[in-house]
Structure 1
């Protein structure tokens, strides 16, 4: 297939994504075929692929148009969610019920109908009857969580919030507004914080909100019934409620106030996609920009930490505990476009800005001499900073670092996603930007776990780490950090990671330790050994059984190496 044919195949696939998000995978396949041909057999770039050092004007215009289509599709979806609001009006005199189209669709009823015909649970019906008997308008609205069973969905019920009102301006009318509620991860996290619940108690509360009995919760969670009963008492104590039904209604009221009412929430990821700010500070820079940086740990031995590409300055509790034991504190600036740090003035000045930001932070903190740890894709930046520090550099550690990129040698051995990123970053930044612009909204819906599974598809060791909820959360935070400001961080930093920065590596001659994951699917152990094996100043340590997530899966080795350089 010719380059022109592959180009239009990729473009056509991209235009299908706004109307059908599931087509993103087909677009990604077409984008890979654009670079590597139909078969992608040997991992080498197709000979007819054009090389662009900057943006492709034509492709940029298509990218902007597709982004606008995706934004419009998202806006329509939100509008559709907002319109899902079933309104019932119950006559206090006759008991007959009328409703709007949404109410008819939700309840499966033809209006008018009797109150007893509504597929609401007994508590909701009782509260509506109570409102009917009240002769005067209610001074306070009632909010109740009710299960709605529809004839059109006989095998399932939908948890809805029912807002029951007796408006002053509507004589003889009780108004009931029904809105579907999804007990999302974000909403449960807020309820957990509001009540001070443990993670286990939050899971049990989620069961009650799903209308499960204690036995059903115990069975679903794989726990003893007595454990569920004990933790239920703890939930009652913390919420100040006498009965679990009161807790459920309290949660319903909170959910109503938060307006967490999507119409098709099961297809939408509930993640916030917000970069964490714990331990973060800002530094105003001389060029008018702002640098966000993190202090990780409270030890007296500081180490400058240069974060990875997709993995930011976020760590597991186990890693932080080992930092405390070693009396180490990591000083971790976010690079331009990452997290909350301002972009560099131009794309070409990105690398120099990274170095200037790091030096400005160290000057601000009063560190005249400091050791440095570079993680993964932060390695090229780490060596440039080390070079700029000169004799102020104490020691240096590289954890799972990338190496100066050689296209012919390294490209074939990479996993498919990394190979695509390398080719796009080096030769077609506009393709990279299009993939990110099209893909980011898709994965905001699917969630970070779906993205990470795609990224780790060829790495069994890394896939296993996703079974750990703590590590999965840390990896997700790194992804939020990378896309907080959109796609530009990946474009700018990606070109740095996939460049030949051998001169920067050669410039650092002090003794340094390099930890290499034995099962890394991006850079092979053989290539790292070939590059570093003859360097007398490098202590290369291969850690078998670890892969891309080395810094999290081998905290003992990493913190021991940190302690040696701090």
Structure 2
């Protein structure tokens, strides 16, 4: 540290070093994530009660190359640690992961105890002795040879044992033997095999997320178990062309371009929803019953936009701009009401959320959000539009409404926030929300790494514990996670939010933290606010005060309404939307 550095800067540097120290520990001590959060709060703020961030503002962390270098190393450690975790029996977190280490110099394979069980043989053993069919052995051999060269990162492939027809998913990455040295490192291939038992529970979730017909789900199950299209056709008494058409439909609905990508996505869902592969539904598949962004629109620039259209196709148009955690999902009774009351609800996923492609340039994230919405509306509907801002989608909803001009008939704010005043509003937020709010604004690269660590560490325990962690500052929402109807939508919303990684979360958060007061104050259409008395992000009194001072719009208070208010108080929220669309 420079001796001329001021005491304030020295203190800030010390806090940053402590935070980085905790971040370096995270891949090795995942249960200490809360310690990382406390270190982050200590870095951003003077204390729990003194939320001054002046020293953060005055430092250009966004362009700090040394900090970026540390964060790159931390994320590299996370990737390496994941492979290491799957390579040692004592560190395995899921009972479905088999680990192999292949040394291309000696062609000796090491495996954990699950590899012993999976292959039915003892390790270490010769590569040729692996009980895999010839094509799988050849594939792994080529990758092991490539792993000794620079440029090889990770690949996904399917592998089959030679005595059974079921295939498994293998994630392959570089393994560096710790017995080597810096000059002469021994490199090889680390293989993690997900031998997943495709229960009706896991298949039902994939069917629901991809919106597949029962026949397509059966084809998906066969593909996931390594069947060829010819084998599926023969077993089902159908032509190969019919099975090919169904496979193409499955790929299109899932947003994947090839079967290996489909296996990765489906297995990810399967491991999260049913990690032990043990839960069974009685009577076959039981798809989750809610509406989803199940359509794909291809823009002129080649980008794909995922969206849903619900209700009456000839009804009054409602554009739903979703919040983060709960996504563009609706309960079944609300969907039925859309159709009965003549509403046509268009609900897109923002860039890099769900199956929507990321922006061509991340610097254009906000502009891409607006263009996507305008493009969809132009292609799918005509006439006036009621814009619904749901929670964190409010800043983009206001920008979209202004871009629509006279087409924006009115707006409804469902649990939506207001432009954030750092000096006042942070006190009403919980630990993680405070950190995220300041982090996305002043240290986006740092907060991206922290979100990545949080996702990786928490999802090891499953989606429900992750939701409990995410909603820890809202007791009202936590109590409702035991309701299967509410939980199913929250679960789908989490997958929708994290499917493509944390970068979109950071950019979306930065849009909310920017000064979008001009976009809100410039709205020329009528606006109605529906806000919960126990909202965990923006306190009701802050909303009431702001709206009374700057806009004078009506505000409907929902008693005991929290983050899941659109589900727990669906009748109130829906009535506000319906009244706006009919006005």
- When normalised by structure 2's length, the TM-score is 0.65
Does the 8 A contact of 2:273 with 2:463 survive in 1? Answer: no
Q: Equivalent residue for 1:240?
A: none
Partner of 1:471: 486
Q: Which has the higher contact order (CA 8 A, sep 6+)?
A: 1
SS in 2 for 1:85: helix
1:338 maps onto 2:353 in alignment? yes
Using the alignment, how far apart are the partners of 1:363 and 1:88 within structure 2? 54
**1:437 equivalent in structure 2:** 452
> Structure 2: how far apart are the matches of 1:47 and 1:484?
34
Aligned to 2:19: 10
Partner of 2:77 in structure 1?
69
Contact 2:311 2:340 in 1 (8 A): no
Contact kept, 8 Å, 2:387 with 2:397, in 1: the verdict is yes
SS of residue paired to 2:387: strand
Q: Unmatched 5+ residue regions in structure 2?
A: 1-9, 89-97, 100-110, 125-161, 167-192, 209-262, 278-289
C-alpha separation in 2, matches of 1:88 and 1:59: 43
CA RMSD of aligned residues (A): 3.6
2:376 aligned to which of 353, 361, 379: 361
Correspondence for 1:85 among 102, 107, 115: 115
Question: Matched residues in 2 for 1:335 and 1:3: separation?
Answer: 35
CA-CA distance at 1:365 after TM superposition? 1.2
**Cα offset for 1:472?**
1.4
Partner of 2:67: 59
Alpha-carbon separation, structure 2, partners of 1:565 and 1:193 = 34
TM-aligned CA deviation for residue 297 of structure 1: 3.3
Match of 2:39 in 1: 30
> Following TM superposition, by how much is the alpha carbon of 1:307 offset from its aligned partner in structure 2, in angstroms?
0.8
**In structure 2, what is the Cα distance between the partners aligned to 1:41 and 1:349?**
36
Deviations 1:502-548 (A, max 9, x none): 10011112222110111112111111111111456622111111111
Partner of 2:294: 280
Q: 1:46 to 1:24 in 2, by over 3 A?
A: farther
Aligned partner (choices 270, 289, 311) of residue 303 of structure 2? 289
Per the alignment, do residues 442 and 534 of structure 1 end up closer, same or farther by CA in structure 2, a change over 3 Å counting? same
CA distance in 2, matches of 1:368, 1:71: 49
Deviation at 1:416, TM superposition (A): 1.4
Q: CA deviation at 1:456?
A: 2.0
Number of the residue aligned with 1:115? none
Shift of 1:495: 0.4
Q: Which has the larger radius of gyration?
A: 1
Mapped contact 1:55–1:429 kept (Cα < 8 A): no
Post-superposition Cα deviations, 1:182-240, rounded to whole Å, max 9, x if no partner, equal 998x74514668999xxxxxxxxxxxxxxxxxxxxxxxxxxxxxxxxxxxxxxxxxxxx
8 A Cα contact 2:477 2:563, kept in partner = yes
Partner residue, 1:40: 48
User: Closer, same or farther in 2 for the Cα pair 1:528/1:51, shift >3 Å?
Assistant: farther
Residue 469 of structure 1 deviates from its aligned partner by 2.1
* CA shift digits 1:366-415 (9 cap, x unpaired): 32322111101111111111111111122221100011111112112212
Distance 1:365 1:267 in 2: 34
Q: 2:201 aligns with which of 177, 183, 189?
A: 189
Contact kept? 1:515, 1:540, Cα under 8 Å: yes
Matched, 1:420 2:435: yes
Contact 1:322–1:556 (CA under 8 A) maintained in structure 2: no
What is the aligned counterpart of 1:386 among 401, 407, 415? 401
1:79 Cα offset (Å):
4.1
- 1:70 offset after TM fit, Å? 1.2
Aligned partner of 2:216 in structure 1 is none
SS of corresponding position for 2:306? strand
Q: Which position in structure 2 is the counterpart of 1:121?
A: none
Change in 2 beyond 3 A, CA 1:544/1:79: same
Which of 576, 579, 583 pairs up with 1:561? 576
Instruction: Give SS of 2:531's match.
Output: strand
The question of whether the paired residues in 1 share the 8 Å contact of 2:320 and 2:390 is answered with yes
CA contact (8 A) 1:298 1:324 kept: yes
C-alpha separation in 2, matches of 1:88 and 1:503: 61
Deviation, structure 1 residue 67: 1.3
Residue number among 343, 346, 351 corresponding to 1:328 in the alignment: 343
Distance 1:261 1:384, change over 3 A: closer
- 2:363 is paired with a residue whose SS is coil
- Partner Cα distance (2:118, 2:393) in 1: 58
Maintained 8 Å contact 1:512/1:537? no
Which of 554, 560, 564 does residue 549 from structure 1 map onto? 564
The residue number in structure 2 matching 1:405 is 420
Structure 2 residue matching 1:552: 3-state secondary structure: helix
Distance in 2 between the 1:24 and 1:348 partners?
A: 30
Matched, 1:307 2:322: yes
Q: Distance in 1 between matches of 2:394 and 2:202?
A: 37
Alpha-carbon separation, structure 2, partners of 1:399 and 1:88: 50
Q: 1:100 aligns with which of 111, 122, 125?
A: 122
Number of residue pairs matched by the alignment? 418
Could you tell me how far apart the structure 1 residues matched to 2:351 and 2:318 are? Answer: 20
How many Å apart are 1:301 and its aligned residue?
2.9
3-state DSSP of counterpart to 1:458: coil
Residues of 1 paired with 2:508 and 2:443: CA distance? 14
For residues 499 and 267 of structure 2, the distance between their equivalents in structure 1, rounded to whole angstroms, comes to: 25
Alignment partners' CA distance in 2, 1:51 and 1:296:
47
Q: Deviations over 1:450-470 (max 9, x none)?
A: 222222222111111111122
User: Does the Cα contact within 8 Å between 1:268 and 1:446 map onto a contact in 2?
Assistant: no
Work out the CA distance in 2 between the residues paired with 1:490 and 1:319.
27
Aligned to 2:504: 489
Counterpart contact for 2:293–2:306, Cα < 8 Å: no
* TM-score normalised to structure 1 length: 0.66
Distance 2:457 2:550 in 1: 44
SS of corresponding position for 1:395: strand
Match of 1:168 in 2: none
User: How has the CA–CA distance of structure 1 residues 359 and 6 changed in structure 2, closer, same or farther, with 3 Å as cutoff?
Assistant: same
> Can you give the 5+ residue segments of structure 1 that lack an aligned partner in the other structure?
90-97, 103-138, 144-179, 197-257
